[in-house]
A and B are shown apart, each in its own frame.
Chain A
């Protein structure tokens, strides 16, 4: 069965610093991978996705993620954190067209 692990339920970075949110998955077949962001009391917004092709994927709001098959990872990064990036971030992988979710990582931005 597929699973998704997000390392760190909370990540705190200073404004302007690098953001790194970790996601590892287990899958027996080539996966489709997603990062979603959720602001308080709101639904989910797709940040970026990997399906096929280039392993470095660029998304909205300056985020990007790299699919590393050998490491079964899909870590999310942003070079410079902004206060507006404070939110919950979810990594997900598809399985039979359903999404398998990580537990989420709350990103805290320190002024």
Chain B
């Protein structure tokens, strides 16, 4: 089955620094990737939809200058949290859509970000 990886799985950083999270589709080419944020005991909140070679589409209320998304290749999308603050601490999950299975998204294992 389709596999999506995320790196790092956990990151702790100081307030004001930037953190980059990578999302890779390992055995398929993902023209579309999604970035989600999940608060404790809550469902997933879609942050943005990333299409290879074009600008990401951000959901309402998500600051595009704070959460930079780059989808430079068909197997890699990155989310950079710029000038992180404690309120950015969360669980970030990416997913990728296989063009041959457009009805389904395959999820990465998530990245736990803690901003001190």
A residues with a Cβ closer than 8 A to B are 32, 34, 36, 41-46, 49, 51, 90, 94, 97-99, 101-104, 106
B108: contacting residue among A41, A43, A49, A101, CB under 8 A: A43
Chain A residues with Cβ below 8 Å from B46 are 98-99
- How far, in whole Å, are A36 and B91 apart by their CA atoms in the complex? 17
B93: contacting residue among A44, A46, A98, CB under 8 A: A44
B residues with a Cβ closer than 8 A to A are 4, 6, 32, 34, 41-44, 46, 49, 91, 93, 95, 97, 102-110, 112
A42: contacting residue among B41, B42, B49, B110, CB under 8 A: B110
A99 close to B105 (CB less than 8 A): yes
B44: contacting residue among A34, A41, A46, A101, CB under 8 A: A101
Chain A residues with Cβ below 8 Å from B105 are 99
Chain A residues with Cβ below 8 Å from B6 are 43
Tally inter-chain residue pairs, CB-CB below 8 A: 46
B34 close to A98 (CB less than 8 A): yes
A41 close to B110 (CB less than 8 A): yes
Chain A residues with Cβ below 8 Å from B103 are 32, 49, 51, 94
CB closest chain-A residue, reference B6:
A43
Name A's interface SS. Answer: strand
A46 close to B104 (CB less than 8 A): yes
